[in-house]
Amino acid sequence: MKYPLTPLALGVALLLSLPARAADIDWKKVDAALGKTAAVGGEVHRYGLPRSDLHVTLDGVSIKPALALGGWVAFAPMHGEAMLMGDLVLLETEITPVMTKLLESGLDITAIHNHILRAAPATFYMHVAGHGDPEKMAASIRSALSSASKTPFDSPATTAGPAPAIDLDTAKIDAVMGAKGTANGGVYQFGIPRREPATEGAMQVNAALGGANAINFQPTSNGKAAITGDFLVTGNEVNPLIRALRAGDIEVTAIHSHMLDENPRMFFIHFWADDDALKLAHGVRAALDKTAVAQR
């Protein structure tokens, strides 16, 4: 079992889906080890680990998992083995026991941080990485989360009827944002890439797994929405962006990094507001325009 690699090597390999021998991996066994079914994009197999067990509120808003509680792990095949990267949503009391279990299994921890403020209960986000047998790594993730957290692994009960409605004027939001959003679990989501993605080790960090600005709108009432997510920016863009957010009455809740050796150096800026959705879309777009995002 040989999980550990540097975060640099992990990020490059996973985000780029390096040429690999995917046929060497029995993905049904990985699914069984994790107790989940992957969403497959190219060579990457991604597993959602939403904290649907948690009832988190912030400023009177009941947060849907797709807004700010969507943990995940993903595997990219590489030379018959796999690279692992993920982001686990944890309560404060779960951080140390989950970390201990993961470290004992040979996996790496690359970051721990908050995304939002004042939430009850408070939630934190632990980034994990590894390299080796994907079935064994999947089993390690499930074992750590099952024994040291209440992260659910059972399939949610299916209910008849349509998906939760997005009670917002999404066409107008799209027009302001200059992009087309997608509905997911009652949340309207945008992934807006940078014009020139960062590189690590001369390799491009694309939008597939973390190389894009993530903007989420959850309807609250009467055309209002709670928004959160993160912007991906260079150091010289940090303060112009957060000034634009504050000018739009959008709260800045976290500034941190995920990668260690990228070029240019990148930072992730999280935010929160609950207000008129179109007003917030204009505020977010004004902030995006302070950065090197892809053209509308």
Contact of 135 with 30, CB cutoff 8 Å: yes
pLDDT score at 118: 97
State how far the alpha carbon of 160 is from the alpha carbons of 45, 47, 163, 188, in Å: 28, 24, 9, 21
Could you confirm whether domain 7-148 is CATH 3.30.70? yes
CA distances from 211 to 9, 54, 130, 153, 239 (A): 16, 27, 19, 27, 20
Angle (CA) 42-67-155 rounded to 5° is: 65
Name the residue type at position 36. K
**What is the pLDDT, as a whole number, of residue 14?**
47
Q: Tell me what pLDDT residue 19 has.
A: 42
d(CA 252, CA 277): 17
| Block mean pLDDT (10 aa), the chain, length 296 | 48 45 81 94 88 97 96 83 89 98 95 96 92 96 97 70 86 97 96 82 52 92 96 96 98 88 87 98 98 85
The pLDDT value recorded for residue 156 is: 60
The answer to whether residues 251 and 118 touch, using CB atoms and an 8 Å cutoff, is: no
Q: What is the pLDDT of residue 6?
A: 47
Instruction: Kindly state the helix (H) or strand (E) to which residue 89 belongs, with its residue range.
Output: strand 81-91
Q: Residue 184: which of 170, 166, 202, 167 has the closest Cα?
A: 166
Q: Where are the domains of the chain?
A: 7-148, 170-288
The pLDDT, as a whole number, for residue 283 is: 98
Two tokens, residue 184: 């997911």
* CA 158 to chain CA mean position, Å: 24
Q: How far apart are CA 142 and CA 53, in angstroms?
A: 16
